Chains A and B, each alone.
Chain A
Amino acid sequence: MNSLEEMLEHYFGFTEFRPGQKEVISSLLAGKHLLAMLPTGTGKSLCYQLPTYALKKPTLIVSPLLSLMQDQAEQLKVRGEKRVLTFNSFLTLQQKKAALSQLSSFRFIFISPEMLALDYVIRAIQQIEIGLFVIDEAHCISQWGYDFRPDYLNLGEARQKLGEPLTLALTATATEEVRKDIIEKLEIKDMKQIVSTVDRHNIALFVEKLSRYEEKLERLVQLVQQFSGSGIIYFSSKKAAESVSEYLHNQGIDRVAYYHGGMEPDQRMLIQQQFITGQLRMICATSAFGMGVNKPDIRFVIHFHLPATMESYVQEIGRAGRDGEQSAAVLLYSDGDEGLPLHLMEQQLPTDAQVEGVHAVLLKSGEGMMDILKPMQEQLCQQFSLNEVQFRMIAQFLATKQDVAKPIELFKQYCYTRKSRNAQKLDQLLQWVRGSACRRVGIVQYFEENQAVNNPVCCDCCGMSIEQVMERWPHIVERQQADSFYWKRELASILCIKGTKE
C-alpha cells in the first residue's frame, strides 16, 4: 500500500479524507511534531490511527477521561483492531504487570495521565519504541483552557523521559492563547500548528430569549416536537436533567431519558447504548454526556442552561450533524441564567482560607506530601469543606512543589487569576448570547480566526427560522415503540428461537 488514500480505504473503508485530516497525517509522516485543532465530529482519531499503521510502531495515546478512553478503545475493537490496550486505574496490579510485560504487542496504548506519572510505567514504556505520542484533548494541559487538568502538567516531563517521540497534540477547541500555552508546557520548540475552523457549516445556530423558566419548558416541548431525529438537551445540574426528562415524559413525549455523572456506571452505559442504537430519541444530560459518543446522526442540541464558556458550548453543539446533514443548535436563555455557571465555577476553586488551612496541616505533619495527602483526603475535605475537584487542585499544586514551607501566595494568586478569567470567559459568552450580530461570525472571532463566513443556513441573527431549517432537514423514519411486552417472546427473539408459543 502506497498512498494514504489506499490505506484509508483498506483500514477504514473510506474513500475520501475529511477536511484537515490529510494535512495532519502527511505532516506527521514527514516527522513533524504537531498541534492540530480540528472541530468536534470531524474524525480526529483517524489522524493518529492511520499514521500508526504507516509507522508500524505502537502509538501511545494520553486521554483525560476513563470513559472516553474506553469508548475509543471499544470503537477500535469493533472496527476489528485487536491490539488495543487501555492502561488505567481500573486494572488490577496483576493486570498492569501483565500488560507492561507485553507492551510491544499492542498497536494502540491508551493511558491516563496519572498512570504516566508513575516511574515503573515510564520505565516499561522506555523499553519499547513508541512511534507516535498522542495527547488527546490537549487543551487540558493549559491553565487557561476551560478544562484544565493538573495531571496533564506532567506530560512534558513524561515525553522527555520517553525520548521525545513524534508528538501529536489534538484539541477541538483552543484559542490562540491556549494553543501557545500547550506548546510551551510540552516544551516542544519546533511544533507545527494545523488549525482548521471551528465553524460547523451544517449546524444552524439559534439563541432564544425567554422570560421565565416555565416559558423555557414550554418552548422546549415545542422544539422537541418540531424536530425529528435524535437530540441532546444539556443542563447545568443533574437534578434539572432528571426533572425535565420526567416533565417531557409527562407531556407525552416518549423515548427520552436522562444521563448524568451521579448514575451508576452500568446504568449510564445502558442509556448511552440506548441512545446510540436509536432506542431512545433524546437524552437530557449534563456535560458528562457526549465525549466518546460516536453517533453520526444527532440532529439537534438544545441548551436549557447556559454553558460556562464558548469552548464548552462549541464542543457540545459539535456533537450534532457528524453525518454532514442539516442540524440545529438552540440555546434557551433567560435573564439571570448566568448565575448558575458562575456558581459552579466558583466551586471548582478553593478559597484562600481553604488553601491556608490544608497547608497548615501539612506543615505540622512535615512528612512527604503525597503520602499523607491521599489517606487524609476524607478528613481534610470534611474539615475545610472541600469538594473533590478543589482537593485535587490543592493536592496537585502542593505535590509539585518540593518544599511544603514554600509560601502559598503563588497558588492563591493562581486561584484568584483563574476566578477572574472564568468570569471573563462567561462574560464573553454572555455578550455573544445577548448580541445581535451573526452567531457564526461571533464564534469564529472568539477563536481568533480570520475566516469569512458565508452560510445560507446561518443563525437567528441572520434571519433564519427553525421552520426554514426544517425545510432542509433530512427525512427521518421514526422508530415505533413496541406496544406490548411478553418476556418469553422477548427472550426468544433475542436468542433467535423460532416457533415459541405464548
Chain B
Amino acid sequence: MANYLQVIILHTIKKFQGERSIYAIYHMLQGKKSSQTIQDAHLFRLTNVFGTIPHFTRKQLVDTIQNLVEHDWITAKQNSDVFIITQSGEEELAQCEPIPTRLNGWKYQNVAPVFWGRLNLLIQTLSHIVHNETKFYPIQRNTKIQQSIKQFLQQNRQNRELMAQHLYEELTDLLERQSDRHQTIFVRKLTGINRVGQTFDQISKTMQLDEWYVRYVFLESLHWMLAEIEKTFTQYRLLSSLIRDLQQSRLTQSTQTTLQFIQAGRTLTEIADIRRLKVNTIEDHLVEIVLVDKQFPIDKYVTSAVEEKIRQVMKKLQTKQLKAIRQSLADEAISFFQIRLVLAKAGDEL
C-alpha cells in the first residue's frame, strides 16, 4: 500500500498526463509563485494540492519517484524527466484514500499556517485564563503570532469565560460538519492547560494511520474551516475577527503593481518600460491576473476570432501543450502569449 505522499505525487503525475516533468511536481507541491506553476495549477486542476508541502525537498521527490517506479506505478516517458501513471498505478490510486476534496492549497496555503498558529495559541491562552492560571509556556514561539494574539486579546475586552464559550461554539459548529477523523485529528493537535498537543507522528501511531495522510486531513480541516468562515463570517464572529487581516489578494506583489498600471490604461510595453522589466514578465503577470479572475477582459491582447481558433485547436488536439497548439496554428500570426491567455481563461473547460 502506498504511503500518502506517494498517493499525492501519483495523483499529480496522473493529472499532468505526461505533459510536465517531475520538477513541475516539485514546484506545484512547494507552491512556487511563478506564472508557470500558477498556470499549471489551474490547467491541470491541481489547485487543491498547490503549496501543500512548503518544505518539500528535491530529495523527497527523487526518492518518492524512484519508489513509484520500483512499484511499477509510474513509468518514464522515453527515458526523460517526464513520467506517466501505469495501469497498476491507476489501480493503486483507486484503492487508496482519495485526495481530500475540501483541500484548497491555491487559496489557503499562505493563510492556513498563520490561522492555525493563532488559533492554537489563542486556545492555549484562553484555556489557562479560564482555569485561573496566568503563567504558561506559549506553544507558539513565532513572535509575530504571539504579538497578534496579544493584540487580539487587548482589542477584545470581552469576558474571557464568554470568549471561551463562543470559541467553543464556533469550533464545535465547524467540527461537527466534518468526519470523525477530522474531528479527532484536529482536537488532538490542540494544546490546553492540562495537555500539550500531539505531533503528527504521535497521532498517526495512536490512530494507526499514515503520517502523511494525517497531515493532509489536518490541512484539509484548516482549509475548509477557512472557507466556511469566509463564506458565512457572521456566524463565526470570533474566528473571522482572528483572521480579518489575512484576507489578502491572491496575486503576487509584482503582479498587483502591474494590474494597477493596466487599470490606469497603460499598454504592456509601456508598463515594462516604466517598471524596467521585460515585456515577457509583464505578460506573465497578465496571465496570472486572468487565472485569478477569468472575467478579466483579454480582447485587447487577443481578438475574439483568434481566441476561438485557439480554443478549437485545443479541443481538437486534446492537449494543453503550448508547442503543439502553436504548431497546429503555424500559418497564423499567433504568439505563445496569446495562447497562454486563452488557456488561462479557458481554465478547466478543456
Residues in A lying within 8 Å of B, measured CB to CB: 70, 74, 78, 80, 90-91, 95, 249, 257, 263-267, 269-271, 273-274, 276-277, 279, 485, 487-488, 490-497
If A492-B168, A493-B192, A494-B190 touch, whether A487 touches B143 (CB-CB below 8 Å) is: no
7 closest residue pairs by CB, A with B = A494-B192, A487-B187, A496-B130, A495-B164, A273-B196, A487-B183, A267-B199
Nearest-Cβ distance from residue A65 to partner chain B, whole angstroms:
14
Docked-complex contact B195 and A279, CB < 8 angstroms:
yes
If A265-B141, A279-B196, A494-B192 touch, whether A78 touches B136 (CB-CB below 8 Å) is: yes
Docked-complex contact A495 and B199, CB < 8 angstroms:
no
Asked if B350 is at the interface (CB within 8 A of a chain A CB), the reply is no
Docked-complex contact A497 and B184, CB < 8 angstroms:
no
Nearest-Cβ distance from residue B133 to partner chain A, whole angstroms:
11
Give CA–CA (A63, B165) in the complex, Å.
Answer: 42
Docked-complex contact B141 and A269, CB < 8 angstroms:
yes
Docked-complex contact B168 and A491, CB < 8 angstroms:
yes
Docked-complex contact B199 and A95, CB < 8 angstroms:
no
Give CA–CA (A264, B211) in the complex, Å.
Answer: 14
Give CA–CA (A490, B161) in the complex, Å.
Answer: 17
Which of chain B's residues has its CB closest to A488's CB? B172
Give CA–CA (A424, B165) in the complex, Å.
Answer: 63
List of B residues within 8 angstroms of A279 by Cβ: 195-196
Docked-complex contact A495 and B172, CB < 8 angstroms:
no
Nearest-Cβ distance from residue B176 to partner chain A, whole angstroms:
8
List of B residues within 8 angstroms of A91 by Cβ: 143
Docked-complex contact A497 and B164, CB < 8 angstroms:
yes
Known: A78-B137, A491-B172, A496-B131; 17 extra A-B contacts, CB below 8 A, are A70-B141, A74-B138, A91-B143, A263-B199, A269-B139, A269-B141, A270-B196, A273-B196, A487-B186, A488-B183, A490-B190, A491-B168, A491-B187, A494-B190, A495-B126, A496-B130, A496-B161
Docked-complex contact A495 and B200, CB < 8 angstroms:
no
Asked if B86 is at the interface (CB within 8 A of a chain A CB), the reply is no
Point out the residue from B136, B164, B190, B198 that lies within 8 Å of A496, measured CB to CB: B164
Asked if B202 is at the interface (CB within 8 A of a chain A CB), the reply is yes
Interface size on B, residues (CB 8 A): 41
Interface residues of B in 185-206 (CB under 8 A from A): 186-188, 190-202, 205
If A274-B196, A279-B195, A485-B188 touch, whether A495 touches B139 (CB-CB below 8 Å) is: no
List of B residues within 8 angstroms of A496 by Cβ: 127, 130-131, 161, 164
Which of chain B's residues has its CB closest to A489's CB? B187
Q: Mark B198-220, 1 if CB is under 8 A from A, else 0.
A: 11111001000000000000000
List of A residues within 8 angstroms of B130 by Cβ: 495-496
Docked-complex contact A497 and B199, CB < 8 angstroms:
no
Point out the residue from B164, B175, B193 that lies within 8 Å of A487, measured CB to CB: B175
Asked if B171 is at the interface (CB within 8 A of a chain A CB), the reply is yes
Give CA–CA (A264, B127) in the complex, Å.
Answer: 25
16 of the cross-chain contacts (CB-CB < 8 Å) are A257-B199, A267-B199, A270-B139, A271-B199, A273-B191, A277-B196, A279-B196, A487-B184, A487-B188, A488-B175, A490-B187, A494-B190, A494-B193, A495-B127, A495-B164, A496-B164
Which of chain A's residues has its CB closest to B124's CB? A494
Docked-complex contact A495 and B123, CB < 8 angstroms:
yes
Which of chain A's residues has its CB closest to B137's CB? A74
Docked-complex contact A497 and B165, CB < 8 angstroms:
yes
List of A residues within 8 angstroms of B190 by Cβ: 490-491, 494
Which residue among A269, A487, A495, A497 has the maximum number of chain B CB atoms within 10 Å of its CB? A495
List of B residues within 8 angstroms of A267 by Cβ: 199-201
Which of chain A's residues has its CB closest to B130's CB? A496
Interface residues of B in 265-282 (CB under 8 A from A): none
List of B residues within 8 angstroms of A270 by Cβ: 139, 191, 196-199
List of A residues within 8 angstroms of B205 by Cβ: 249
Which of chain B's residues has its CB closest to A259's CB? B199
Asked if B167 is at the interface (CB within 8 A of a chain A CB), the reply is yes
Which of chain B's residues has its CB closest to A75's CB? B137
List of A residues within 8 angstroms of B196 by Cβ: 270, 273-274, 277, 279
Nearest-Cβ distance from residue A413 to partner chain B, whole angstroms:
35
